[in-house]
Structure 1
Amino acid sequence: MDTWQDLAAVVEERLAAMSSGERGVFAAGAAERLMCRHEALPEEDRAPFTMSLRPLLNSVWEAVLGDSTAFTAVKRGVAEYLLSDYCHNDGQDGPDDADEHAAAATLHAAHAYLFECADFAIWASRRAVDAVDEQLQYLDESDEDTPDLDEALVAELRRQLEDLDLIATYSKDLRYASLGLPIGTSVRLRVELRTPLSAR
């Protein structure tokens, strides 16, 4: 049986080999699952900064699925973050809101779309992996059955590999999605990609 470290290496190798369009969709999917999980928390446990990034993540989805007009919204959302107090070089002395998993993954997804760099998609993948331990702690505190950490990490990475398999079947559409796709194609991709990639 593959270890979670082995599977993580496979995910990263596949992301590096994919087109930037495919990577953008993957990063959006990873961020979406984390965001949905965060949104499902009790209101008092939700981070305001993370919640404020929902419009940015929605714009990322529109952009990676072929709506070129969403570029401006994604660019503006990233710029607002960069100009905010949440983007800093103060280390542990500064606000850590942007280090929350869903927030960080959303920002990575936006950067993956804007800059078409494999690193950002890889970092989104790693955020989803890092979030597993936190999710298990939450389940434990909720008196729910908690799986073994290694098993949960393997499950997360197998899920990511399944997502990559699905995305790869749309490689022709996604390769040039950043340039814009016909409206009908974008609508179809929302149903055929965003919906399954968002499922927890």
Structure 2
Amino acid sequence: MIAASSANGLVSQLRGVRMNNWQALAETVEARLAGISSDERGVFAAGVAERHLSWHESLPEDHQAPFTLSLRPLLDSVWAGVLGDGSAFAAVNRGVAEFMLSEYCHNDGQEGPQEAGEPAAEATLQAAHTYLFGCVEFAIEVSRRAVDAADLRDDYFDELRGYDIPYTDATLVAEVRRQLRDLDLIASHADELGGAFRRGLAPEISARLRLELRTPLSSQD
């Protein structure tokens, strides 16, 4: 029979392992996304995509992907929409339609252009779908593509160093923990965001939310 103190210690250890496992944390993110409003999901998706698109934009030119860079106007329109500007819907709809009709959207597998598979690009496109349709599946894809982008960031730094360091999932854990913090911040504005997509928000509220939500959600910290 295990003593109570030993049992409690084992439970604490197991709980610690779970809370430091990025896959377990990602499941928590996905469960929370399923339980919030489509308006909150839109802001979450925009914020996560923003962090990774802006980081891609900061790379040296020879590491940047032109297609990914071309999505900046689309993401800016998504931001406008999720923060209450109803007129942004047409711009986001048009941006997604242009992608759908382009050579980058195809069913040719590895034989076709691969640019839309770059994680920051894919996160941005999924963020646009999250805004347009509100579906949790699109928001979850944003979360997952952000994890992929974080993993590629480690590869980039390995390339700069000229050697690989022993792999850990610390970067992935940090990314998913950041997503959980983003959800906490967004939840504190849930009442204001309610109906932002359907009714829009007053310009002064949208302006304040840009400071209170877009700015911190865009931060790399």
Report the TM-score, using the length of structure 1 for normalisation.
0.97
- Equivalent runs, 1:1-200 vs 2, <5 Å: 1=16, 2=19, 3-143=21-161, 148-178=167-197, 179-200=199-220
Structure 1 distance, partners of 2:89, 2:166, is 40
Q: 1:12-61 CA distances to partner (integer Å, 9 max, x unpaired)?
A: 00001010000000000110011011101111211111111000000000
Count of aligned positions = 200
Label 1:155 to 1:148 Cα distance change in 2 as closer, same or farther (>3 A). farther
Q: Residue 160 of structure 1: SS of its match in structure 2?
A: helix
Give the CA RMSD over aligned residues. Answer: 1.4
Q: Which runs of 5+ in 2 are unaligned?
A: 1-15
Share of identical aligned residues, percent?
Answer: 62
Which deviates more from structure 2 when the two are superposed, residues 128-137 or residues 71-80? 128-137
Structure with the bigger RCO (C-alpha within 8 Å, sep 6+) is 1
Q: Residue 84 of structure 1: SS of its match in structure 2?
A: coil
Q: Residue 67 of structure 1: SS of its match in structure 2?
A: coil
Q: What displacement does 1:173 show?
A: 1.3
Label 1:59 to 1:89 Cα distance change in 2 as closer, same or farther (>3 A). same
Q: What displacement does 1:143 show?
A: 2.1
Q: What displacement does 1:130 show?
A: 1.2
Q: What displacement does 1:131 show?
A: 1.4
Structure 2 distance, partners of 1:149, 1:180, is 43
Q: Which runs of 5+ in 1 are unaligned?
A: none
Work out which of the two has the higher radius of gyration on C-alpha atoms and give 1 or 2: 2
